[in-house]
Structure 1
C-alpha cells in the first residue's frame, strides 16, 4: 500500500501523523510511505530521518493526496484537504464530526473511507486512540488553567497551590474519564483543592480508593454541579459522549454565580464544548472572556506539546495503520470489530450513528457501507 503523511495545517499544529519509526515499520513490511517535506520539522523530526527510515519526501500535499491509498493525519482535514480526497481513498485521523457539519458534508461528498481515531474501541469498551491525547489534554488543562488564572492573563490572580498561610485554588473537574483523572492528578500534584464530578458511582468509588481524601468526589447532578462551579477558581470540562456532541453542562446563567476572573477550560471543545459559552480558540489566541470569566477553549490542545503528543499518538495508531496496510481496508475492518467502530463515513454514507443523529443524516451500519 502507498501511505501518505501530509503536513498538518491547522493553526499552531506541529504534530505529524507518523514518526520515522512508524515509517520504518511500514517500509520493512513492503509498503511505500510518502511524507510531506518538513512535516515533522516543528518537533525535531527531519526529512533526513524520514528518508533513512525509507520514506519518500514529497514537496506538496496535492501530490500526496493524489497518489496515496491511505492518508494518515492527526487533525481533521481542512476544507481544501477534504476536496483533495477521492472515492475509495482511506483517511485515518481524528475527525470529531458531530459539531462540524461542513467537514461531514465534504467527506460524504468525497466518497472516501474515513476512519476516526476517536471512535475506535477496544475489548474493554475504551477508546485506545483517543486515550493518549486525552491524557495529554487532561494534564495540559491544569497548566493552561493555572496560567490563565494569573492576573496579567485576565484571571483572578490565584496561585493554584497557594502558599503556607494562604488557601490554594479550588479546582472542579467535570467528568471522571481519562481527561478528568489526568487533570485531577495534575491539580493535586500542584497542591490545589480538587473536586471531581461524575455520574458513575462505581467510578467515583474507584477514584476515592485511588486518591483517598485528598480528592473530593461528588455525584454529578444539577445542584452539585452548580454549587461546585460557583465555588471554583478553575473548572475543567472533561465530558465525552463518544462520537456525539458534548452536552452543555455549564450554562451562561451559571457564570453569574462564579468568582470574577475564574477560569473555564473546555477540553470537550473538539466535540462542540461542554460549556454553553464555549467556542473554539487557537494556541495563538487561546482565551476570551464572557461575563468576567476567562474561557480557554483550544481545539487542538495537545498540539501545544506536539513532540510528546506525536510520539504518544503514533504509539497507539501504528498497529492499526499497519493492519490496514497489510490487509487492505475491507479485510482489516471485517476482521476487527473495534477498528470497524472507527468508521464514520464510507463511500458517501454516514456510518456512525451518533454523527448521523446529530447532523441529520441517514445512518448506514458500517458493515453495510463497506459492501457498497
Structure 2
C-alpha cells in the first residue's frame, strides 16, 4: 500500500471529533436499506466512543429535496424512516406484494437495525424491537404479515426471529442486553423459530447454523417456551443433519425431556479422539434404531475378531525394470509415423512438380 501508517496520529485526530455527518442525496436508499450508513457513520461513532468514552453528535444532511435542504440528527432521521416505512402498513403491504423480494427487504431491515444497535446502542431502544415483534409477528395491523413470514417465506421469518433472539441474548460493553425482551416475547420467538425449523427445514443463514452460542441459548429456552420433547428432538436432528455439530446430538431422559449429549470441556475433534481411545471404538445406538438417539447398547465391535497386535496394511517393495530391450530396439509412436508419411508426401509432390515442368 502507499504511504505510511500513523495509527496513533489518526486516533488523536478522532479524539478531537465532536460531531460527524453523513449526506443523503436520494430517497432510493434509506438508513435501513444497506450497511453503508451504520458501516461508516455508525462506526465513526463507535470508534470515537471507544477512544473517549463519549459518542459524538451524529447528523444526516438531507439533500433529497433541493427546495428543502436540512440537517437532521441521526435519531430524527431514523425515527422518521421507521414511521414512514418499516412500521407503516402501506409500506409493509407493498413489500408483501413483492413476495420473496419483499420478505428479503424485511430481513435486511432487521439486520441493519441490529447494526445500528451495536454501533450506537443509545440510538435503538427496546421499544423499537418490541414494535418489530408486534408489527411483524403479532400482526398488529391485521395484514397477515405473520402468515406471510412463517408460511409463505419461512426462511426469511426464521432469519428475522433468530436475529431478534440473538439481540436479546447478547449484551453490550456495560453488560446490558441489546434488547431487554420480556420472557413471554422471547419464549414465543423461540417456540415459533423451533417449530418453523421442524416444519420447513433449516434456513442456515450466517447467524443461525454457525452460531454455537445461539444454539445453546435456544436449547436452554425450548422447555420454558413450551416446545414439546418430540419437537425438540426433531429440531436437534434437523440441525445436526444441517451442521454435523455434536451439540445437536440428543437423547431423552427418564422424564421424556430431550437432552444434548456432549462434553462441553472438549471440542468436536477432541470428543472424536476421546471416543476412539481405549480397547475399541464403539458406536452407541438405541435399540429402536432411532436417528440421533444415544443409549448404552454398544454395536458389536468388528475389531474384536483380531488380536491386539494385528496391523492391517500394505507392504511396499522395490522393483527393477529391465530396459535392455527398449534400449536396443527403436520404438515408434503414431505421431512419428504420421510425420514420416507427411515428409514423404511433401518430397513426392515437389519431385512431381519438377518433372512436369521439365516435360512441358
TM-score range, shorter chain: under 0.3
Give the number of the structure with larger relative contact order, counting CA–CA contacts within 8 Å between residues 6 or more apart: 1
Determine which structure has the larger helix proportion and give its number: 2
Structure with the largest fraction of strand: 1
- Higher-Rg structure is 2
The two structures have a TM-score, normalised by structure 2, of 0.24
